[in-house]
Amino acid sequence: MAMNMSEKILARHAGLQSVEAGQLVVCPLDLVMANDVTGPPSIKEFEKTGKPVFDPEKIALIPDHFQPAKDIKSADLAKAMRDFARKHKIKHYYEAGRVGIEHVILPEFGIVGPGMLIIGADSHTCTYGALNAFSTGVGTTDLAVGLATGKAWFKVPEAINVHLTGKKPQNISGKDVILTLIGKIGVDGALYKSLEFTGEGVKELTMTDRLTISNMAIEAGGKAGVFPFDEVTKAYIEGRFTKPYEPANADEGAKYSATVEINLSELKPVVALPHLPENVKAIEDVGDIKIDQVVIGSCTNGRLEDLETAAAILKGRKVNDSVRCIIIPGSQAIYKEAIHRDWVDIFIDAGCVVSTPTCGPCLGGYMGILSAGERCVSTTNRNFRGRMGHVDSEVYLTGPYAAACSAIAGKIADKV
């Protein structure tokens, strides 16, 4: 039976020769992950089982949302995770000074890789599909059961074939690709379906592009966002991911519920207007929208390539006097490399704030909260009402190229 990528990974883990959409399976897990928002309540549920953790080497606890601790409550959340990690000798526990944004450091550290089955108590766990894994977010109870048993149940999702063709223009990034897709199918267009990316256009996408695209599969309602294993994947994991692995590329004739065609050559820089990621327009069509803040970072666009794009735009230029620009590297290694490449000097000389790695303003945590009536251009993944602060503020989603241009222009822009 021909299977797509998602079906192959689930079938292998379930110990079955094949599976099909709608089938219920119970699978052993390769990794269980939680952060400082979701970890503590999951730990409380786990402790009700009276069991030890299933495998301290297959659990990752990453306090990144409100860290370094912004107040007493966030310090308590981190302490709950720290105490649990020490008690159970969790191998992959990283905090301030060693931490980064969870969905940045797990690929960077070589903890996730091809063919893996991963659950995380965070909706953007689908990020790891960029590495040819089936990776998805779960709730508190499922995470607690995963910690105790190392297993989870899944309904095999239908899959949408996102067929990519053409050549990617220089000013286009993965963020433009995924926002264009969400604009086409809507925020519920892939509800409980996996998005699988195929076609000649896939080779045009860097790993940074792919991580960004898979990260935002959830913004289309997707259960997962999976890329094939190819030379780009192989080059990225070489020297990082040291475990044996079995890639899961789709069979010829694999079944998809729908196909969406995207010609990369035709893409333009886009922006998602408030208050949904599906409200997508070409930046050249949005008119004169003044802004108050720009955020470049997050699990979606806080990688080295993203900072490189921003630095190239900001070099020798100044952030508009009416704009606050906040740069947030996704990990300590990215931060350090940005220093070595003099990008941090470029950012500071341009008038930006450079933060330690953190989720921070993306979820309205800290390091850039908006007041009533303020507008922010952000490379984060959500622009729901009140997401970054006051319910009467507005968030406009773009890639790092347009975000840096906007910081200089003082309005939404894709040129300097």
**CATH number reported for the structural domain that contains residue 369 in this entry:** 3.30.499.10
Are 240 and 332 members of one domain? no
Take residue 366 and report the two structure tokens written for it: 């800290």
Q: Which amino acid would we find at residue 407?
A: A
How far apart CA 240 and CA 251 sit, in angstroms, is 27
Number of domains present in the structure of the chain: 2
Task: For residue 50, give the H/E element and its range.
Answer: none
Each residue's pLDDT tens digit, 103-121: 999 999 999 999 999 999 9
Are 143 and 214 members of one domain? yes
How far apart CA 284 and CA 269 sit, in angstroms, is 8
Q: Cα-flanking dihedrals φ and ψ of residue 182, to 5°? A: -65, -40
* Distant-in-sequence contacts of 370-374, Cβ < 8 A, 24+ apart: 370/292, 370/293, 370/395, 374/292, 374/293
**What is the rounded average pLDDT for all residues in the chain?**
95
**pLDDT at position 96:** 82
Whether the per-residue pLDDT at 349 is higher than 90: the answer is yes
Report residue 162 CA to chain centroid gap: 18
Helix axes 304-314, 332-340, angle to 10 degrees: 40
In a domain, 394, yes or no: yes
Are 239 and 102 members of one domain? yes
Contact 277, 216 (CB under 8 A): yes
In a domain, 58, yes or no: yes
Are 61 and 180 members of one domain? yes
Instruction: Mark which of 263, 283, 313 sits at the end of a domain.
Output: 263
Contact 42, 145 (CB under 8 A): no
In a domain, 416, yes or no: no
* Global confidence as pTM: 0.95
Whether the per-residue pLDDT at 186 is higher than 90: the answer is yes
Instruction: Mark which of 231, 263, 295 sits at the end of a domain.
Output: 263
In a domain, 366, yes or no: yes
pLDDT band at 377 (very low <50, low <70, confident <90, very high): very high
In a domain, 339, yes or no: yes
In a domain, 415, yes or no: no
Each residue's pLDDT tens digit, 45-55: 999 999 999 99
Are 66 and 201 members of one domain? yes
Whether the per-residue pLDDT at 67 is higher than 90: the answer is no
Are 162 and 214 members of one domain? yes
How far apart CA 205 and CA 217 sit, in angstroms, is 16
| Cα→Cα distances 261→6, 14, 210, Å | 20, 32, 17
Torsion angle in degrees (nearest 10) through CA of 388, 321, 212, 397: 50
- Containing domain of residue 347, as a range? 271-409
Are 242 and 114 members of one domain? yes
Are 147 and 293 members of one domain? no
Contact 302, 334 (CB under 8 A): yes
Are 240 and 287 members of one domain? no
Each residue's pLDDT tens digit, 132-181: 999 999 999 999 999 999 999 999 999 999 999 999 998 999 999 999 99
Instruction: Mark which of 222, 240, 263 sits at the end of a domain.
Output: 263
Contact 213, 198 (CB under 8 A): no
In a domain, 47, yes or no: yes
**pLDDT at position 98:** 87
Are 328 and 398 members of one domain? yes
pLDDT band at 363 (very low <50, low <70, confident <90, very high): confident
- CA Rg value for the chain: 20
Are 369 and 226 members of one domain? no
Are 371 and 332 members of one domain? yes
